[in-house]
Structure 1
Amino acid sequence: SPSAARASAAMARLPSLLAALHVAAVACASMHSPSTSDMKRAFDNGMAHLERTRFASAGHVYNRTTGVSQVPLAVVGFVEESKYMRGGLCDSDVQQRSGYFKINETGKTNEHYFYWMFEARKNPAKAPFVLWLTGGPGCSGMLALLNENGPCSIERTESGLQEVTNPYSWTNHATVLWIDQPTGVGFSYGDSGDFDHDEKGVRDDMYHFLVEFFTAHPEYRDLPLFVFGESYGGHYAPNVAYRVMQGNQRGESPFKINLQGLAVGNGLTDPAVQYKYYPAMAYHNGYGVKSVDAETYAQMLSSLPSCIAQIDGCQTDDSKCAFAQDVCNNALIGPYERSGLNPYDVRIKCKVPGLCYDFSAPTEWLNLPTTRTALGISSKSSKWSSCNMRVNSQFSGDWMKAQQYTVPPLLASGVRVLIYAGDADFICNWMGNKAWVKALEWPGQSAFNATKDRDWIVGGLKAGSARSAANLTFLQVNKAGHMVPMDQPASALAMLDTFLTNGKF
């Protein structure tokens, strides 16, 4: 049917589907969620009691000191928590929170954002605070948590689904909050009128989420905040950081959010520049992989003027944006996809039609009743899925919009900015990302472009190439695809540590 064809085409061009591969060669820890009967027995034995707190939030907390897990039982508006003795999901050695915040300040009627946060494994009282935004648009932050940079992954074994500890978790160096946004993504939910369709909606909602989160949990308020985004997070993250900066400058909150850094991994930020590099990445990608033949490569090159004209038109005429997306993706991404190669890694084939990665294990685990109960998932949340194509379709007018304008004011305010890219990714490739960073108009542009790339060393070996000027860095990560923390976990963790500590790449 035409609708099915449109859905299939939308899925095929989705540029930010996070990896479903799991962290390998790590110890396996079977930390199964309690059954419903176990929880009832705890109540019957008087091991639990009810607490109510007046906050516009609901959250699950595991306290590593008391060994107590708290699970919300009611909708947002009250926190109704039952306590019972058990270990925390994914990482039982740190305090974690999960649950919902209702976004009250943006004119939405029933918008509830789900999050899952883990405190840092070391010195959480002083460790930086990282906000992670997955792209899509329409894909869940839980994908990154369970497949890239979270405390554990989910693997399917002969004995069932098991949590596998990630020694390269970003919680080694920071308290990290993964979020399902915008409305409709993952476990987040709301009414039809609550769905976002552009970056203004995204950044306003996320700003108010942060204000409400730090109001409810002031112990994290003064920690340095670093906003990270991946793929379509190249739209999201710069806008969220920009909105936080605006909120601080305008005094919109009783407190200032301690914004210190913005980072984007294999992002889509400046389409008019980045789309120019699809032909080169398809034919001259550095891995010797020619995904198209010489004739198709020439056709891709010849389509660039028309594509760029459409993107330029989108910047001033919203009615042209969806058409620009279709024209450019068909001409420049379509030929690569027909090769059968993974658009997120030129080195491998697409293993699963449409998404290329198998998300079945974390999907099944997240939908277990025990998991949903432990995380405090609302009965109003639908069954978890990796990506919501309805949300994706809402952003057809946003896809080709330029977002790099947000970066110069952030740099001017002293915020550190890191743009990094795995060099095997096609869909948001390093060539296009480096090009838009070099084209960025800011006072340090000449110095940045005059600086030579230098080797980036991790563990005594070259892990990539870096270029920096003032508070802006571009980092090319070797032997990594679209999901750098999945493909090169040690390098990604070293990158995080260097960025958070303002070290030299």
Structure 2
Amino acid sequence: MISEDAYYFLQAFFKSDEGKKYKDSPLFIVGESYGGHYAPAIAHRIWLGNKNVKEGLEKLNLAGVAVGNGLTDPEVQYQHYSEMAFKNSHNIKVISETAYETMKKAEPMCTKGIAKCNSGDSTIDQFACQAAFIYCAKALTGPFFATGLNPYDIRKQCGDNPLCYDFSHVEKFMNADATKKALHVDGHSSSWKTCNNVINQQFHVDEMKDFAPYVADLLNDGIPALIYAGDVDFICNYLGNRAWTLNLEWSHKAEFNAAEEKDWNNGAGLARTANGLTFLQVYDAGHMVPTDQPEHALTMITQFLNGEEF
């Protein structure tokens, strides 16, 4: 649904006075976190639209898709929460060995539930997806949350903020009268909040859905993809993201899996790349790579937009 909305928004934008000058520019769809769902879905919808351009619509110049610390293939990624909590690249053991072993034992049941969620049987989809979410969250992310550490950076405590970071400056800007006026928001009846758990829960309906096949379709048609991950994030960790890129079924899977992992940007990370797909582990960065490593993040996105080798 979101990909459909985004597709028609882009169509309208590129026809508008503000957007028409960008119509022929390369279009990259980039997302972070739950953007591991959104970015592949939106890029795939654009790709489908370009295959059969409807009357009154435009072919969009789709040039690439990128996801940072995203949730894209839950069945693969949920198998790596235990490792990230106990056997990560920083040798930080945030849970006990007993908790680690308990999490490992829960993985088969979790992945079985996620597979059922993605089975394509519409009569059980909704129930199966919700059941998988409840079980997997409790069994495989619950032990980490019980530590009080920051799920977006295992080196830090979370604190009292629900998202573990101070976003008050963002709330102040979004709720400013000038911002509301520019966005045509009714200033008296609406306020913007960083975190709303009621709305958040409504989006969990597709949390366990697999969006990796969308990335495969794009790659198979020559559209490059960059999957990057800061390596101290727990919730969408680099281990799970690396695993799903290696597991991805696409026409150059063998070449990608055989590709050497190479130093990137003089010790800033580790990159594997082949035939348009790149996985990049960014050292000493959490869930939000541009926050923790802004210079490296700028180099990364510039390389990708320019089509340079990693």
- The answer (yes or no) to whether the contact 2:11–2:57 under 8 Å persists in 1 is no
Distance 1:334 1:273 in 2: 18
**What residue in structure 1 maps to residue 104 of structure 2?**
301
Displaced runs of 4 or more, over 6 A:
none
**How many positions carry a matched residue from both structures?**
301
**What residue in structure 1 maps to residue 33 of structure 2?**
231
Unaligned runs of 5+ in 1: 1-200
Answering whether residue 303 of structure 2 is matched by residue 481 of structure 1, we say no
Distance 1:323 1:436 in 2: 22
Answering whether residue 190 of structure 2 is matched by residue 378 of structure 1, we say no
Distance 2:83 2:184 in 1: 45
Matched position secondary structure for 1:397: helix
Q: Deviations 1:93-137 (Å, cap 9, x if unpaired)? A: xxxxxxxxxxxxxxxxxxxxxxxxxxxxxxxxxxxxxxxxxxxxx
Distance 1:428 1:268 in 2: 6
**What residue in structure 2 maps to residue 413 of structure 1?**
221
Code of the aligned partner of 1:214:
F
Answering whether residue 21 of structure 2 is matched by residue 219 of structure 1, we say yes
Q: Deviations 1:329-354 (Å, cap 9, x if unpaired)? A: 10110100111110000111102343
Distance 1:396 1:501 in 2: 35
**What residue in structure 2 maps to residue 40 of structure 1?**
none
CA RMSD in angstroms comes to 1.3
Shift of 1:288: 2.4
Of all paired residues, the percent bearing the same amino acid is: 47
Shift of 1:452: 1.0
Shift of 1:376: 3.5
Q: Which has more helix, going by share of residues? A: 2
Shift of 1:366: 2.0
Code of the aligned partner of 1:211:
Q
Code of the aligned partner of 2:49:
G
Distance 1:206 1:395 in 2: 16
Distance 1:312 1:254 in 2: 36
Question: For 1:384-463, what aligned pairs fall within 5 Å after superposition?
Answer: 384-457=192-265, 461-463=266-268
Distance 1:467 1:367 in 2: 42
Distance 1:470 1:273 in 2: 22
Distance 1:331 1:346 in 2: 18
Matched position secondary structure for 2:267: strand
**What residue in structure 1 maps to residue 3 of structure 2?**
203
Shift of 1:285: 1.3
Answering whether residue 53 of structure 2 is matched by residue 240 of structure 1, we say no
Distance 2:46 2:211 in 1: 15
- The answer (yes or no) to whether the contact 2:180–2:186 under 8 Å persists in 1 is no
- The answer (yes or no) to whether the contact 2:68–2:228 under 8 Å persists in 1 is yes
Q: Deviations 1:126-167 (Å, cap 9, x if unpaired)? A: xxxxxxxxxxxxxxxxxxxxxxxxxxxxxxxxxxxxxxxxxx
Code of the aligned partner of 1:229:
G
Distance 2:167 2:58 in 1: 40
Code of the aligned partner of 2:38:
Y
| Aligned mate of 1:284, from 80, 84, 87 | 87
Q: Which has more strand, going by share of residues? A: 1
- The answer (yes or no) to whether the contact 1:424–1:479 under 8 Å persists in 2 is yes
- The answer (yes or no) to whether the contact 2:246–2:256 under 8 Å persists in 1 is yes
Distance 1:277 1:324 in 2: 16
Matched position secondary structure for 1:400: coil
- The answer (yes or no) to whether the contact 1:352–1:358 under 8 Å persists in 2 is no
**What residue in structure 2 maps to residue 134 of structure 1?**
none
**What residue in structure 1 maps to residue 69 of structure 2?**
266
- The answer (yes or no) to whether the contact 1:287–1:347 under 8 Å persists in 2 is no
Distance 1:385 1:243 in 2: 29
Distance 1:327 1:488 in 2: 34
Code of the aligned partner of 1:379:
D
Answering whether residue 138 of structure 2 is matched by residue 330 of structure 1, we say yes
Matched position secondary structure for 1:222: coil
Question: For 1:67-106, what aligned pairs fall within 5 Å after superposition?
Answer: none
Code of the aligned partner of 1:238:
P
Distance 1:497 1:441 in 2: 27
**What residue in structure 2 maps to residue 467 of structure 1?**
272
Normalising by structure 1, what TM-score?
A: 0.58
Shift of 1:358: 1.4
Normalising by structure 2, what TM-score?
A: 0.94
Distance 1:234 1:299 in 2: 27
